[in-house]
Amino acid sequence: MKHVGAIPVEKAGNMRHTTEKNNLSENQSMEQGALLARPFAVVGRRTINWVNTLGAAAIFLVLAVLMIFRPKQWVKIIEQIYYIGARSTTIIMLVALFTGMVLGLQSYHALSQFGTVGAVGTLVALSLIRELGPVLTAIMITARAGSAITAEIGIQRISEQIDALDTMRIDPLRYLISPRIAASIISFPFLTALFDLVGIIGGFISGVMLMGANAGTFFYRIQASVDMKDVTDGFIKSMVFAVIVATVCCFQGYFVHMRTDSRGAKSVGLSTTAAVVTSCALILVADYVVTSLLI
């Protein structure tokens, strides 16, 4: 009998066969294990990415807010207030008018079934001041100014304009981001107040002028049911939304070059979409959280 070292060949062959079999089954079980672990790995990776992004956005926001108070910022903040705030008034008024009119119409029909048409003013005013005003204003500004902010900053990033600021010793966060965040925090409450006012006028037009509810009762019920806390809560919400919208839109534009799914103009397009979608979703989530804290 031939020997391989001290082990007979036959036995060695059997051992090799057994080892191969063991290795095969080990590989198979490892593959199965990897297959089972894959969903967890995907979830884990995404969670880590999400937490990283959240952390980066938080640092981004804090640094930008700190730089609001640096010199030479006021002119830029006023320019941004004009762009984000003043130039959004038309669309805000239009949306507010028709939102108020729909509210007036629906509440008139609903309340007339219970004989409480006099409460139209209450329903319209509270809905607008507590919820619809801040939320719809934030969503409209996201669509109008937020998307433009992402696209503008994104293009500045891919065309090296932000790098150029760095080389000129101009902090891009101070120059580009801080004024936009400050302008948003200032503009959102004003636009929300405008939305509330025009919305109530819309409710008056449909509920009183078109459907025939009593004008005196309409305003009396508003005065009686709306207190200062409703108004301040609405403003607090609008400021929270301002921080969310400005941060998300600026962050998406500023880090457009870090996207791994696309490059160039396409990445700016995708970042703009992501900014709008994320802002809108976060507005609704934050609305619930803030409402539950304030109520």
* Residues found near other proteins in the complex (CB under 8 A): 72, 152, 156, 159-161, 163-164, 166-170, 175
For the CA atoms of 43, 44, 48, 53, the dihedral, rounded to the nearest 10 degrees, stands at 0
Q: Is the CB of 35 or the CB of 168 nearer to other proteins?
A: 168
Say which residues have a Cβ less than 8 Å from residue 102's Cβ, sequence separation at least 6.
Answer: 202, 206
Distance of closest approach, residue 166 Cβ to other proteins, in angstroms: 6
Smallest distance from other proteins to CB 233, Å: 38
- In angstroms, what is the minimal distance from the CB of 30 to other proteins? 25
4: phi then psi, degrees, rounded to nearest 5? -110, 105
Q: Which helix (H) or strand (E) holds 8?
A: strand 7-8
Tell me the H-state helices in the chain. Answer: 9-66, 74-80, 89-112, 120-126, 133-141, 147-158, 161-167, 172, 178-204, 215-225, 228-254, 264-294
Q: Which is nearer to other proteins, 153 or 282 (CB)?
A: 153
* Least distance to other proteins, CB of residue 90, Å: 22
The alpha carbon of residue 107 and the mean position of all alpha carbons in its chain are separated, in whole angstroms, by: 30
Shortest Å distance, C-beta 227 to other proteins: 45
Q: Give 141 or 162: the residue with its C-beta nearer to other proteins.
A: 162
* CA dist., res. 3 & res. 10, Å (int): 8
Cα–Cα distance measured from residue 109 to residue 103, given in angstroms and rounded to the nearest whole number: 10
83 vs 190 by CB, closer to other proteins: 83
**36 versus 75: smaller Cβ distance to other proteins:** 75
CB of 262 to other proteins, least distance (A): 18
**Complex with other proteins: residue 40 or 261, whichever CB lies closer:** 261
Interacting residues of 295 by C-beta distance below 8 A, sequence separation 6+: none
